[in-house]
Structure 1
């Protein structure tokens, strides 16, 4: 341990290479302990076992992705390596099966994804400038519509030209990709299709999943490419800011200065945690009475409360500080869970035929072009509009939103990403019903 010394019986770090701001020797020691517990079969169940394993894996793959040429510059860097690297570890048996079960249960059974998304939605909305939120929301839905129309038109046209069929390309590739993810998109879509076509819903779902998975993967890659393009063409990029008028810039800068001037307060962070999970519960309550996904209802509720201005500033600041803590410290951890629990690697690989890949790519490109163009007409930065209103419609819902925004280095756009995945996803279900009646 050349850059760690023992002083007064306490390990002292010297300056040097660090992972997660931990010196390499100490991080290596932590990793050895965690991996020893994993392979010995004594890794604790629940979050106490999932957290250390996922944090170690996420940190290592994040370093690899952020330091590997081409990957770091064009393919999204750390996030894409974390997701597919973690998926490979479990798929090919490199990690013990028991550890995979612990991580999957942590993500799905114990609700870590919901916990993370709740923090991001509440904190990012409540931390926004109120005027900026109102101005952006009014013009956002047309940008989503522009992306959907362009994506459907392009995939249908190319499907017809290559002999796949326009109707088949739209229904089996375009619609599932733009459908808002798995639970809120592909699953209800499979039921809609099965009833309309008199086929088994499981069969329909097996047709949709490869498109969904590939669309999600290409969306992550495209997000990294758009970030790179924005750095080379600053005119098209707001660097994480959606609106491009001067007033929005001033509002955003003013809000940023306010947040930066507030020191971290641990009690406020605790309040923020409670606010986030309470709003999540409120969304679930509303879902019982309103046939819209609870995430969408949560977003609408938080946005309405913010727009009206009835939440005391203290609670808004607490939610913002909690969101920042979760985003900075737990994003790589979550991406590991996405790879392990939500990425079917064999299915993605099996679908990699040139024809299928072309149609998936056309859908994603259509979403980018349509939402970027319409967004620009409405006063948005084209790249931010393409990422949120386009790619966050074409990815795998909440998990895809995190991966796409992470690859694009624009996590502060999570509220708009969630509007795309949830409200936009609900629109796709309606569109699918209408198209099935039209085509059949």
Structure 2
């Protein structure tokens, strides 16, 4: 909860006054009623002023009671804002746990659990689900974050990061596959089950790009129904995602204790004497039209990705990422629009992250599937897989000129649930700047894992 110090009037000691020696003259004056109210208004729950937060709760509760809770844009925004900021605020109040990504865990899973146990009103669930799916909220967020973060990066740092990130990713994937399979087998699982039904789904890139095509391929090879296989793959992927969120939170905490290990969101180490490119004047000065132009640019690039998906079945976020990197490297976008993109990135990462996670938890996260996966053998196997992936990235990073904390966090996103997992993991790590690299780990890394796994599964069946 953020507070603002009330403004007060203090007598100046440097200006002559007949009452300057009087004790009363040096005492802070009592704030007026208006100033006290302003101080209350400046208390924040997330990005919402406290009085606005309380008013929204009352209004939404009344609408729910009257059975007239709509799923339109204003109501949907109010619902996810109140829900997301409430979850994050509760998590911040828990000692120690908040250091392992509790804000992300609460926003990403508590709403789903409330639905599963019947604790969330049905009208709220319906309204949030309809709003989330009809607005495509997630991909608007990803577009704004990717475009904003890439256009805010130094070009040389951007290129070096994209070239080098594949080394810790590839090494981490191999080590994680070996360690996770070995641990699962040692705990009593069959070799094939540990590898293909737990370890592989964790690194397959989420649900739509990972668990679904993976389970469809397994089912086709075995000649069985896809449903039970998909449930197993989804459960493993969710366990991996939870493990990655917790490890990302710990990595963020490690960065605060050992500053030499982190670039605070910068992936590659800048050599001594290598000065980053100076920002153009227009990048530091922007107006509302620059922000609007940056938003239009992000939407245009995303729709270009959607079009290529329709034509060639290429993942839209990856295509969008490629085009925005090209635009930044070759100075396609003007400095003023880059300034607007920087502000757009900051706005979405600050004000939209927790509402988005709440919306995804309500609309897209099946808590029942997570509960069924809570067997200690599955948990230990999943944690060992993700831990191996993260530690490999951490220790390989220095060899390729990267910060260990940031490289390990990007490796952690390789075990996330697609775009939703990337958001949760990077939020827990407080490093949303790494979203472009997370998309490489999740989309490209996940696609390669799925292709290799299906080929190996067909060979060993």
Structure of greater Rg: 2
Who is 2:347 aligned against? 325
Q: CA deviation at 1:82?
A: 1.6
Counterpart of 1:46 (choices 72, 96, 99) is: 72
Aligned to 1:310, what secondary structure does the other structure show? coil
**Whole-Å Cα distance in 1 between the matches of residues 397 and 227 of structure 2?**
37
**1:232-270 per-position Cα deviation (integer Å, ceiling 9, x unaligned):** 222322221111233698428x55x979x7245211111
Equivalent positions of 1:158-169 (< 5 A) are 158-169=183-194
- 1:91 aligned onto 2:116: yes
Q: CA deviation at 1:23?
A: 4.6
Who is 1:344 aligned against? 366
Aligned to 1:121, what secondary structure does the other structure show? helix
Q: CA deviation at 1:147?
A: 1.5
CA contact (8 A) 1:82 1:336 kept: yes
- Structure 2: any 5+ residue segments left out of the alignment? 1-5, 7-30
The size of the alignment, in residue pairs, is 431
Coordinate RMSD, CA, aligned: 2.4
Q: CA deviation at 1:342?
A: 2.5
**Whole-Å Cα distance in 2 between the matches of residues 354 and 77 of structure 1?**
21
- 1:298 aligned onto 2:320: yes
Who is 1:180 aligned against? 205
Q: CA deviation at 1:27?
A: 2.5
Who is 1:123 aligned against? 148
Equivalent positions of 1:39-438 (< 5 A) are 39-73=65-99, 75-246=100-271, 250-251=275-276, 262-263=284-285, 265-388=287-410, 390-438=411-459
- Using the size of structure 2 for normalisation, the TM-score is 0.87
Which shows bigger deviation, 403-412 or 226-235? 226-235
Give the 3 Å change call, closer, same or farther, for CA 122–22 of structure 1 in structure 2: closer
**1:1-59 per-position Cα deviation (integer Å, ceiling 9, x unaligned):** xx99976xx99522574323555344322321122223432222132221101101111
Which shows bigger deviation, 77-86 or 60-69? 77-86
CA contact (8 A) 2:211 2:230 kept: yes
- Using the size of structure 1 for normalisation, the TM-score is 0.91
Aligned to 1:14, what secondary structure does the other structure show? helix
Aligned to 1:246, what secondary structure does the other structure show? coil
**Whole-Å Cα distance in 2 between the matches of residues 412 and 116 of structure 1?**
13
CA contact (8 A) 1:177 1:211 kept: yes
Q: CA deviation at 1:286?
A: 1.6
- Structure 1: any 5+ residue segments left out of the alignment? none
